[in-house]
Structure 1
Amino acid sequence: MPASTSPRLTRTRALAAVLGLGLVATTGLTAASAASARSRPSISAEAWGTAPDGTAVQRYTLRNGDTTVRILTYGGIVQSLEVPDEDGDVDNVVLGFSDLEGYVANNNPGPYFGALIGRYGNRIAGGKFTLDGVEHQLPLNNGPNSLHGGTDSFDKQVWEATPVKGSREVSLKLRLVSPDGDQGYPGELTTEVTYTLARHRQLSVHYEATTDAPTVVNLTNHTYWNLAGEGSGTIEDHELEIDASRYTPVDSTLIPTGELAPVEGTPMDFRHATPIGERIREPFQQIVYGQGYDHNWVLDRRSEGDLEKAATVHDPDSGRTLEISTTEPGLQFYSGNFLDGTLVGTGGKVYRQGDGLALETQHFPDSPNQPDFPSTVLRPGETYDTTTVFKLSD
């Protein structure tokens, strides 16, 4: 051993060799190890109150690189998502409440901030459908229609949670069993939704469901985005692109007419990046019905069932961009039309009209009553299986 080399440094070098690490000095190894530990994906849980039925609710925190996502077992809600902007400043870019009481009291009926939606996302006309000759009646919770699964739907349930940690990503698997007749839907439906936070600011949502009797299923997530930061004001200057040349026009109660109409020449054309507020006040009948955008776009898919880009949102001020890819045939774009200044968000600011937008990947609204729309029927022995990926960048 050279006289200038200490036994401690020799042991450190040996450890570095085993780990495959380069070493300049002992302090360098310590700093590198600390940085490596910080960059590893992690998941942790904390108590977050009690649901109205007495069930304990947990909040899980998923971290990977510079991204942090917090998810509740109540409603499977994405409560916050923190990422840096182009200057390195970190903001929460999704809308929500700061405590469980906010979600219990205001989220349904209300905005459905961040929630898992089921059994059926979006609207069903008259709250009824016929399947295999049997008519099923659902709760009417949106005027004459049923919305987002009913009055006591998936967003109000406490899901069973299982954390899954990998070397490059971290996941939270949520499970819920909906009994036969729940909210009027037939069949016992077992649903698993897995949130995965991968590197490079990518959050994927994988949905699976099986049933013991024929039923209809349309699951989605209802996160509201503001890429400038939650509570920062309007999203009307966000630039939106939707990969769709058609959409499904609606009647005055926001039920599809059955038509697949071209977007060309209308304010519904987002085939090229366009500021959301540029045409939102035009006297176009569909915008009048929705008091803004609240419509389903028919995605221009190249291959059925493959994961393909559906939409991109860019905020010029922060530099953040959100890209959404999905296996679903449709995308509901909602421009936060009914936020009215009565709700206080996670950052202590009130949410006003247009302070967030939702982009819900889905099958089409009212599909059980629209034979020409893609089917949402699920039968025993089949598996409902869809994926949506949200990727953020600056």
Structure 2
Amino acid sequence: MTEFEPVLLSLPSLAPSLAVEILPYGLTFHRIFVQTDGRTHDIVIGPEDPQGHVTQKYTNTIIGRYANRIPVGTHSIERNGVKAEVVAELNEGSRVSLHGGPVGFDSLAWKLLTPESPPSLFTEAELAHLPPLSPTTSYGIFRLVSPDGDQGYPNQLTTEVLIAVIPPADQERKYLAPGQSAAGKEWDLGSILYVYRAKVDKGVTPVNLTQHWGFNLEASLKESEETLSVKNHNITMKADRIVARDADSLHTGEYIKVSDATEHLHEGQKIGDKYPKLGYDDYYFFTSRTVKIPKRFPASDFTPTFDLLKDVLTPSGAKVDRPEPVVEFSSDKSGLKLLFDTNQDGTMFYSNAWADPAKGARKKIHGGSGIKDHGDGYVPGSAAFFEFHDVLAGFLDPANKNGNDTLLTSDEVYHNYVRCDVRFKQPS
């Protein structure tokens, strides 16, 4: 297998409504197929050619070791008395280290694990929830080892990621055939889950991982240029403040209440209703909530019976205590809806405002030629990127010391999950 050969994750034949193509390169969601109402949608933007992700950076890839922006230079770090230094390397402007540095996790080949090369950061109890691997599989676990000093980050970090497609609770649902009535009913099409686990070999290092995936629920309709925009999509975000940033988008340490900046108050309205002149590119802090699934746990708890996967692998619609979604994103035109829940503190919401249609490639299923720099790439406002992670540069804020500081020591295991439930309601 090459790093650009897609790994197909799909549901059993009883529920063929949802499938995902993952590239080992950058652990990239190359395509997310949703099949319903006689149509096949690909709900993430991006290049047609898998190798296009080399130049069309940060499009549906993982981000690491550290998401978003931190100031370049040397930073002393300490967690629970364990100390080290980060030498953040420049790769944006004159003072910013972006998304883990010049060669981040998005630019590397991840290893797909097999029974012969099993995961080390998921327990026997957790793996028991997953079906046996077969030619048609609904999950994959991938590994990357980042050496000590990688992009200026101290100590060796091993990261393993589970990506799974979860069937709906109603296994008889199948997809809607052409002409099949679904008036007024919202169908559960299944769920997409990713779980990041990470362990540092010694000392301490910053870790703040995310998936930089961009969604458009109408682009596959190819009805008009309007369907390339997400301004007519609906959004609900359970957040009460955003991060204040300076001219280089670095965190100033201050916050802005969304009640004082109503363009950031997302309560089910259209994204375009109060669209800022430069679009959206902001970190939203979720309103205070009870999160049962930890972001890190003691390495001593990692025994064969330890289990943090059971609840997040439960099909949507089953009678269990599932967390309320923190983000809802939907289209009246396509009838598709995404509901996200996570144990992370917030999300970046980026509306692809800096897209240049003269550059990059647009997928054929979205009405593009698929040819790089052909002049028919994605336009500004053509996607909603939801990048779930903890606060920007959290380890630089003394208020976070020994708490939610985005640091990881060798006696801890990092645990980050995001789940996306996919729904469909027949458009009126």
CA drift at 1:260: 2.8
Which residue does 1:222 correspond to in 2?
A: 212
Kindly provide the amino acid, as one letter, of the partner of residue 70 in structure 2: I
CA drift at 1:269: 3.3
Between stretches 216-225 and 369-378, larger displacement belongs to 369-378
**Distance change >3 Å, CA 229–CA 251, structure 1 → 2:** same
Q: How many residues are paired up? A: 328
CA drift at 1:191: 0.2
| Residue in structure 1 matching 2:197, options 205, 208, 214 | 208
Residue 317, structure 1, aligned to residue 336, structure 2? no
Which residue does 1:76 correspond to in 2?
A: 27
What does the per-residue CA deviation read over 1:273-329, in whole Å, with 9 as the maximum and x for residues that have no partner? 1211111235xxxxxxxx221111111242145455210001111011011100101
* Contact 2:338/2:421 (<8 A) preserved: yes
Kindly provide the amino acid, as one letter, of the partner of residue 63 in structure 1: S
Kindly provide the amino acid, as one letter, of the partner of residue 245 in structure 1: D
Which residue does 1:391 correspond to in 2?
A: 421
**Distance change >3 Å, CA 127–CA 242, structure 1 → 2:** farther
Which residue does 1:105 correspond to in 2?
A: 55
Which residue does 1:263 correspond to in 2?
A: 258
Which residue does 1:121 correspond to in 2?
A: 67
Kindly provide the amino acid, as one letter, of the partner of residue 79 in structure 1: H
Which residue does 1:294 correspond to in 2?
A: 281
| Residue in structure 2 matching 1:346, options 356, 359, 363 | 363
* Contact 1:120/1:216 (<8 A) preserved: yes
Q: Partners in 2 of 1:331 and 1:281 — Cα distance?
A: 18
Between stretches 59-68 and 125-134, larger displacement belongs to 125-134
What does the per-residue CA deviation read over 1:102-161, in whole Å, with 9 as the maximum and x for residues that have no partner? 112331xxxx11101100011112354321365422221122211111111101111110
Larger radius of gyration: 1
Any idea what SS the aligned residue of 2:163 has? strand
* Contact 2:196/2:415 (<8 A) preserved: yes
**Distance change >3 Å, CA 149–CA 57, structure 1 → 2:** same
What TM-score results when the alignment is normalised by the length of structure 2?
0.72
Which residue does 1:157 correspond to in 2?
A: 108
Query: Which structure exhibits the higher relative contact order, with contacts defined as CA atoms closer than 8 Å and separated by 6 or more residues?
Result: 2
**Distance change >3 Å, CA 367–CA 240, structure 1 → 2:** same
* Contact 1:163/1:171 (<8 A) preserved: no
What TM-score results when the alignment is normalised by the length of structure 1?
0.78
What does the per-residue CA deviation read over 1:234-278, in whole Å, with 9 as the maximum and x for residues that have no partner? 111111111111111111111122123210142343341121111
CA drift at 1:57: 4.0
Q: Partners in 1 of 2:66 and 2:38 — Cα distance?
A: 39
Identity, in percent, stands at 29
CA drift at 1:62: 1.0
* Contact 1:308/1:326 (<8 A) preserved: no
CA drift at 1:63: 1.1
**Distance change >3 Å, CA 127–CA 346, structure 1 → 2:** farther
**Distance change >3 Å, CA 233–CA 153, structure 1 → 2:** same
Kindly provide the amino acid, as one letter, of the partner of residue 142 in structure 2: L
CA drift at 1:81: 0.5
* Contact 1:69/1:81 (<8 A) preserved: yes
Q: Partners in 1 of 2:101 and 2:63 — Cα distance?
A: 10
Q: Partners in 1 of 2:137 and 2:405 — Cα distance?
A: 33
Q: Partners in 2 of 1:131 and 1:308 — Cα distance?
A: 34
Any idea what SS the aligned residue of 1:190 has? strand
Any idea what SS the aligned residue of 2:9 has? strand
**Distance change >3 Å, CA 60–CA 95, structure 1 → 2:** same
Q: Is there any run of 5+ residues in structure 1 with no aligned partner, and where? A: 1-46, 49-55, 283-290
Question: Counterparts of 1:179-194 in structure 2 under 5 Å?
Answer: 179-194=147-162
